[in-house]
């Protein structure tokens, strides 16, 4: 499916202001529940560009259109973000806005634009005075994980969520393209998620090379998936004798399509790890110094020493990988 660039006015809008791809995945059950509560069964989505929502949700039936709102910086950032959301609401004319955060700027913008129904987290913040519907999440939930807050919001507003699995739908055309491009490569397909937005979350690249050699007897194909900036380091590992295919050139939607056809994903705490679990692929997440993720039954975490990822050895990962195939 494709987005409706000129949707009819009067739909419900959901705003997800978190910036990460993983954050987007966590929100999908809530997004679908809000959509299911409407007569149309579909909603408008507003999100940050860094969430890649427009690419990743192109096959999501409950999303009519995706609008991006930039994260603003500087002295007048609050006023600019209020104006941004005001303009978006005036253009889309939603009848209701759900703000999946505690911030007040979108609530103010929606109120000034005349949106009659406004819901959000609250959490004892100034946002509450701009919301029209209770219950608000209590102040005591401020330290809670985002998924806990979403679950509490769902319960408070009578939304029905049967599973927290994101169940991301890959874009069919992208899946076909990936199958055609790599059809001749032997199985099993193991995708390495070698990148991350935070260097402290990265397992050293040479460890992935060591892992490849340790698992060589399994045969198959290793796909090295990272950001564009990781490509040179991946090429260095391949030149040093590690087996595999460099797919750091893939955009997030095609990376999701490739991963959906993999037999196993092994990688850093990053967007691709969350995507892998979200498309139903057994996913081994590598963690050290950060809390592991456990929201999906497809996600299995290996937690290294608190000293950092450099201290997580291949001997801790390879046996789990073997058992996961």
Q: Tell me the pLDDT tens digit for each residue of 8-58.
A: 999 999 999 998 999 999 999 999 999 999 999 999 999 999 999 999 999
- Are the CB atoms for 317 and 303 separated by under 8 Å? no
> Residue 188, by phi and psi: left (phi above 0), alpha (psi -120 to 50) or beta?
beta
Ranges of the chain with pLDDT below 70:
1
Question: What pTM, to 2 d.p., does this model score?
Answer: 0.94
The predicted structure's pLDDT at residue 1? 57
Dihedral of alpha carbons 180, 181, 187, 188, sign: negative
**90 CB-side CA count, 13 A:** 10
- Are the CB atoms for 169 and 59 separated by under 8 Å? yes
The predicted structure's pLDDT at residue 282? 98
Tokens of 300: 């299995």
> Domains in the chain and their CATH numbers?
12-156 (3.40.50.2000), 172-324 (3.40.50.2000)
Question: What is the b/e burial string over 202-214, where b = at least 16 CB atoms within 10 angstroms of the residue's CB?
Answer: bbebebbbbbbeb
């Amino acid at each position: 499916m494709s987005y409706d660039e000129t949707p009819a006015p009067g739909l419900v809008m959901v705003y997800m202001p978190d910036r990460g791809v993983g954050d987007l995945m966590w929100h999908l059950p809530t997004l679908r529940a809000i959509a299911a509560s409407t007569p149309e069964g579909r909603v408008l989505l507003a999100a940050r560009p860094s969430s890649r929502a427009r690419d990743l949700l192109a096959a999501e039936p409950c999303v009519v259109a995706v609008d991006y709102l930039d994260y603003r910086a500087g002295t007048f950032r609050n006023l600019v973000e209020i104006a941004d959301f005001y303009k978006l609401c005036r253009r889309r004319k939603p009848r209701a806005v759900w703000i999946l955060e505690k911030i007040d700027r979108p609530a103010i913008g929606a109120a000034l634009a005349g949106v009659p129904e406004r819901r959000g987290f609250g959490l004892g913040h100034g946002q509450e005075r701009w919301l029209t519907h209770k219950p608000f999440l209590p102040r005591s939930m401020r330290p809670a994980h985002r998924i806990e807050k979403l679950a509490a919001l769902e319960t408070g507003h009578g939304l029905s969520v049967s599973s927290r699995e994101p169940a991301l739908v890959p874009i069919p055309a992208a899946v076909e393209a990936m199958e055609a491009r790599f059809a001749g490569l032997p199985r099993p397909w193991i995708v390495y998620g070698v990148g991350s937005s935070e260097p402290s979350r990265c397992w050293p690249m040479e460890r992935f090379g060591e892992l490849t050699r340790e698992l060589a007897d399994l045969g198959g194909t290793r796909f090295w998936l990272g950001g564009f900036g990781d490509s040179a380091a991946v090429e260095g590992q391949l030149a040093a004798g590690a087996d595999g295919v460099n797919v750091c050139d893939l955009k997030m939607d095609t990376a999701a399509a490739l991963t959906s056809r993999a037999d196993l994903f092994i990688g850093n705490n990053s967007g691709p790890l969350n995507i892998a679990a979200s498309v139903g692929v057994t996913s081994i997440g590598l963690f050290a110094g950060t809390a592991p993720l456990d929201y999906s039954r497809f996600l299995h975490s290996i937690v290294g020493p608190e000293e950092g990822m450099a201290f997580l050895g291949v001997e801790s990962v390879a046996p789990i990988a073997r058992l996961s195939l």
